[in-house]
Structures are given as C-alpha cells and as structure tokens.
Structure 1
C-alpha cells in the first residue's frame, strides 16, 4: 500500500471551504467505525484544525479517500478537487514532517500543530484505525519535528502578540514563577496573552473585565494551570499594586490606567519593577507612566517591530529546517529499504532452512534403508547447492536483461564481496 497525504489548508482554501470539510471528534469516531470494512479507508489518520483538514492513509486507492472526504461532508467531489492537494509516498512523508515541524503553518514554526497531530493519531488508534506501519510513519514525523525544534531556530522567536508579551515578561523578570499578572479586558488578544503567561508558569492571574461573566469564563479556562482571581473593573486601581505585569486591551475610547494610579501603585510596591503592556488602539495606558522609575511600558507598535524582526529570523531559520527535513526524508527512505531488505533476507533464510530440513530428512530416511553414506552426502550437497543458488541465479539473469546496467554491476560487486569475505574467513580458520 502507498502512503497518501490528501487535504486542504489555508494556502488552498478559504475559511468557508475549510469549515465545510472540518471534522470533530465525535463525527470522526462514527466515520471510522463505518469505514472499518473498507480496506482502502481503514488505515488512516485525520488531522482537522482551523487552518487545515488532512487525511494521511495507507491505501491502494487514493480516489477512495478523496470521495470519502467529499461524501462525508456533502461536497461535490469536483468542487473539492479545486482546493485539494495530494502527495504520495516520499512526498507525503515529507509533507507530514513539514506540517509536524510547523513549517507549513499560517504562523511559521508554531508548536501547537504537533500536539494536534498527536491527538489525531491517538483518536484514530482508539478506533483501531492505525496499523503498525502507519504508526511508524507518524513516529518518524514526530522525531523529525523534534530534530527541527532542537537543531534549528525556527521556533525560538516570538511572532504573535500573546507570545511576545510572555517573552517580554521573561526578559524583564528573572523569576517568572513568582509573578502576578493582571489582564485588563478579556478579549481575544488578551486571552492569548493570558494563556501564554499561564503556560510559562506565573504564580497568579488577576482578570479585570467590564463584564464579570466574560472574566469568569476566561478564569475557568485558566484555572487548571494557574491561580486565578476575578476582580471588578471599578477595582482596577485598587488592585494595580498587586500586579508585576499588566496587559491591557479594552478598546475603550478613553485611557483606563492613569499616571496617578501607577505612581500610587509603585509607592505601595516599594518601587519593585512593573511591566505595563498596552495592546489597545486608542491606548489604554497614559504614556507619561514611562517617565516613572521602575516602570517598563510597551505599546503595540513596539511589539510589532519585535515581531517583524523575529519573523524575519524565523524565515531564515526555516531554510535550515527545510534542508533538515529533506535530509530526514531521504534517511527515512533508506531506513525503509533496509527494513524491507531485512524482511526479504529473513524470508530467504526461512526458505533455506526449510530446504535444509527437507533434504536432511530425506537423507536420514535413505541411511536407514542402507544407502551408501558417502554417495548420499554428495547427492545432498548437490541438491542443496542447486536449490540455494536457484534464486540468486534468477536475479542475475533478470539483472542482465534489465535496461539499467547498474543493477547488474551491483549484484556482481555483491557476489565478489561475499567471495572475499568467505576467503578471509577460511584463511582465519586455518591460521
């Protein structure tokens, strides 16, 4: 069976199209159950995220996979064909490694996709939809992703606002695990900031939002990773001194964090440093607070400049990563050939052992009937030699008739190498 990668992503399809062919966990489990009897659809993994839906399968009929995606989502197959890409064998393996490494992501080098692929593999396994061979392909892709992450800088530079704020906090403060963070407004931008800081292991998170229900919803999301407290918006100034890091993004037409409030907070903190990040336009934080000692103020333009520079560095690192993935793909092909050769060698050894046992049993029977031992051994050696040489002789004849002379030369060199080893072993035996 060939290895197939088939799907759509943010490069080939609009959001509307990607939404039409997205799969959720419950539906996939049902679909996997339905495909168990189809040998062309019972060995596959489906990766479905907001930016891509891809099927990785070992199958003899790639068209069956294409039609399965179309039928499962009620889409005309010809419409799907205008957006879908597909790769086979080595190209499919290379694509999987690139995706797992974050090289094919909308946000270059992002690490989340690796976890999403691992989850997709685990889901397919729960439905007995993954053979050992398919599992080995994915494990190698995970190995490649780890190599890319550790041997290149493709994931080292912040290229999202949320991640940039988290990295900034790590640069300003030496002990991230002791930080208290205040999130002012629980919108999309600040939600990402909060999640990144929670993943870094800050000590406490204060969430301040005009609508308390929205703040409590975010608090519930974060509660498994960090100690969270929700405070009312009118209590912002009163709690400002508790925060080492403040990230504000309200969308208000007026400033919400004033010079006097920050000055008072610093006094209460005995002038321990504060990092203030203003992600809002118009700005939430009075720019004059930058004049205060022990205050670090960063605006959205400051962070965007950092992100642009980091993205440039990631793109440069991605070139190294692409080379590494190409090398690993070549190594994978070699490994597969070696493994296949090992299996063929084992088959030939099993064949040889069967012939040996058969000839030995025949010879023992003849000895019991009184046959001449010397003559019998001579006949045994001739029969065994002829049977063992039949397959190599056939290979030589086929290689000689082939258009590619390199294969014949390789066989000839192999035989000469075997003969040389045999002579050396015989020499060592008598020395």
Structure 2
C-alpha cells in the first residue's frame, strides 16, 4: 500500500477552478465515505481551504482518485486535470509536511494552515477513513510543523503585503478585535488580506466590489457583509480600517469623501491601506489628521525588513522536513517487512515446538537428559540452517557470491574473521 497526495492549489489553479472543487464542510463525511467505498482507496483524508483542495490517501491505484474528484464535483476529468498534481510516497510525505509547516502557503509561514490540516485529520478520524498509515503520517506531520515553528523564525517576520497591512494597523489600534474593516475589491490581494485580518478576529468585515457574485464568495468565507462600490461614501465613517485593491484607473475614495467620514467619526483614527496601482485612494487623503494612509511602497518597506531572516528560516525548515521525511519512510519500510518477520518467527517457533516435543518423548522413555539436550540443540541447528545452506548451495556464479555476502551480513559472520 502506497501513500499519495493529489490536489490543486493557488500555485496551480485560478480561484474559479478552486471554487469548483472545494468541499463544503457539511459534505465532507459523505465525500470521504464515497472515496473509500470501492476499496481501491483504503485510507483517505481531505484538506479543503480557499487556497487548496487536496486528498491524502493510501492505495495501489492512484489514478482512480483524480477520476473520483472530478466526478464528485460533477466535472469532467479534462476540466480539472491541467491543474492537478499527484505526489507518490516520498513526495507526498514531504508535501504534507511542507503544507502544515506553512512553506506551501500563499503567505510563507502563516499559522492558520496547521489548524486546517488538524481539522482534516480529525474529520477523517471521525468518518472512519483514517487507517494506520494516515494516522502515523499526521502524527509526524504535526510534530514536524511544531519543530519548524519552534526552532526556526519561519513565522516571526512579515513577508507579505497582507501581513504588513495587519502589522501597520496594529500600530494604531490596541486590539483589532474592536475594529470594523472594509475591503474594497475582491481580487487575490484582497482575498489574501481578508485571510490575515480575519485571523485577528475584527468586530465586523464588509466587502465592497463591482461584481456582487465574487464579493459574496469572499464574504461567505469570513461571515462578512457585501455592499456596492457606489455606496461607500455613505458608510465610510463606520469603518476603522479600509483596505483597497481594485483595477480602477481612477481613485475610488476621494479626499472629500474621507473628510466627511473623519468629521462624522469625531476624529477617531482611521487606517487606510491602498494596495492598488494606480491608486484607489487619493494621495491627499494622507495629509488629513487622524487618517493613517499606507501605500504599496510603505508596506514594501515592512516586507523587506523581514525577508532575509525568513529566507534563512525557510532553508532551515526544509532541512528539518527532509530529515523527518527519511524517518517516516524508514518507518514505512519497517512496516513492509513485518509480515516476513512474523512468518520467520512462526517458522522458527514451529521448528522449536517439534524438537521440544521430540525431546520430551525421549525423556519420558528414560533417555539420558544430557544426550537429549545435545540432540535437541543439534536438531534445532540443523533445521534452522537447512534453508540458508540450501539457498547458498543452489546459487551459481555471481548469484552465489551475492548470496554468500548476504548470509555473512545476515549472520554477522565477518566479525569472526
């Protein structure tokens, strides 16, 4: 039985595809049971987030998993196959270690993914699709992620615009959990920012976007409200933090709009993060008292400060992961020989029992105990040595030389030279 990882993520698939293969939480148990129903897949767990959908499973026929993924979501394989990756055994183990450690995330080192992997393992456990292999894999995965985070600086420095935005907002507000956040736009950058700000559990989130369907998809992930772009001016004063990133050729938030909002807020501070190029927020807004306006260049300075140490941490994390992959595969290889070890022990026990029974009969007939013990030991030796001796004698040429070296190593004969 081999381990595999199959899926797609933000590296390989656009949001429109990721949305179509995402698993709704209420359907996850049904999906796990359906995946393992035919028994070609023996163990399975499903990780489904806004940035990735991945199957971790044990099987001898991995090609069936891609077919199943497409069928479950009422898609053809040709629709999803260009975006899929499949990792066998070693690569699968390394992949899940990297995912849980935050090395495969849109934001390197982000901590949320570990909780999502733990939730995937828990759901598989509850559904009864977690066997020995996956149980051991996830145990090792969580240990590796903990080691990476505790022994490297993988999560200590800010290396994304989104994380920098949160960092700058935290300079102004003591607790982001007391603040109301407005996102203008619903593209990938806003999606990333929403994930970061949502991690700080703000009081309320609203998404304003031209395309309502895209705004609804983003808002649904974070329990946010949705509004139209042309209504921003009427409600701007309600928000403490505004993050904007659209493709508009002209500013969406003008100086007059913000002046009215500041007046209505009675000079309560407002953080505005403009990630758009060209700007979404008029430059002059930054001159207003009580408004803290940050642009892409401002955030880049924060990001640059953390890059060097984070890059070193990634190198250290990869070394830890590679080492732990070897350890896990060694355990798997050990499992592969367990049936052989059991068979060997059973064979030896059968021989022992036969010789012991023969010795008891001789003793019952009054035979000399010393002679019986000698016969017992010789009988065991002859029977145990018969198979390897026969194997060596039947070998020829290079095969005999290989057999000889193997037996010398097996019985540690070289130490007696």
Same fold (TM over 0.5): yes
Segments of 5+ residues of structure 2 without an aligned counterpart are: 209-214, 225-232, 245-251
Question: TM-score, length-normalised on structure 2?
Answer: 0.72
Match of 2:412, SS?
helix
Distance 1:352 1:156, change over 3 A: same
How far did 1:59 drift?
A: 0.5
Residue 305 of structure 1 corresponds to 301
Give 1:247's match in structure 2, choosing from 222, 241, 257: 241
**Cα distance between partner residues in 1 of 2:354 and 2:54:** 52
Q: Distance in 2 between matches of 1:36 and 1:209?
A: 39
Cα gap change, 1:36/1:167 in structure 2, threshold over 3 Å: closer, same or farther?
same
3-state SS in 1 of match to 2:110: coil
Structure 2 counterpart of 1:164: 164
**Are 1:26 and 2:26 an aligned pair?**
yes
> Offset of 1:296 from its aligned partner?
6.8
Which runs of 5 or more structure 1 residues have no equivalent in the other structure?
A: 223-232, 241-245, 424-431
Matched-pair contact (CA < 8 Å) for 2:177–2:200: no
TM-superposed deviation, 1:91? 1.8
- Corresponding residue number in structure 1 for 2:359: 363
What is the rounded CA distance, in whole Å, between the counterparts of 2:71 and 2:194 in structure 1? 40
* Offset from partner CA, 1:368-404 (integer Å, 9 cap, x none): 2344534433322122112333455577679987779
Which range is displaced more, 36-45 or 343-352? Answer: 343-352
Which of the numbers 328, 337, 343 marks the counterpart of 1:332?
A: 328
Asked whether the equivalents of residues 242 and 272 of structure 2 are also in contact (C-alpha less than 8 Å), the reply is: yes
Asked if 1 retains the 8 angstrom alpha-carbon contact of 2:4 and 2:86, the reply is yes
Equivalence for 1:377: 373
| 1:79-118 superposed matches below 5 A | 79-118=79-118
TM-score normalised by length of structure 1 = 0.70
Query: Residues 20-419 of structure 1 correspond to what in structure 2 (within 5 A)?
Result: 20-168=20-168, 176=174, 181=179, 183=181, 205=203, 246-249=240-243, 251-255=252-256, 258=259, 276-279=271-274, 281-283=279-281, 286-289=285-288, 298-307=294-303, 310=306, 314-338=310-334, 345=341, 348-390=344-386, 392-393=388-389, 409=405, 411-416=407-412
Q: Structure 1 78/369 Cα, relative in aligned 2: closer, same or farther at 3 Å?
A: farther
Count residues in correspondence: 386
Q: For the aligned residues, what is the CA RMSD? A: 4.5
Further displaced range: 126-135 or 27-36: 27-36
Query: Partner of 2:12: helix, strand, or coil?
Result: coil
Structure 1 CA distance, aligned partners of 2:136 and 2:98?
17
Structure-2 change in CA distance of 1:247 and 1:97 (3 Å): same
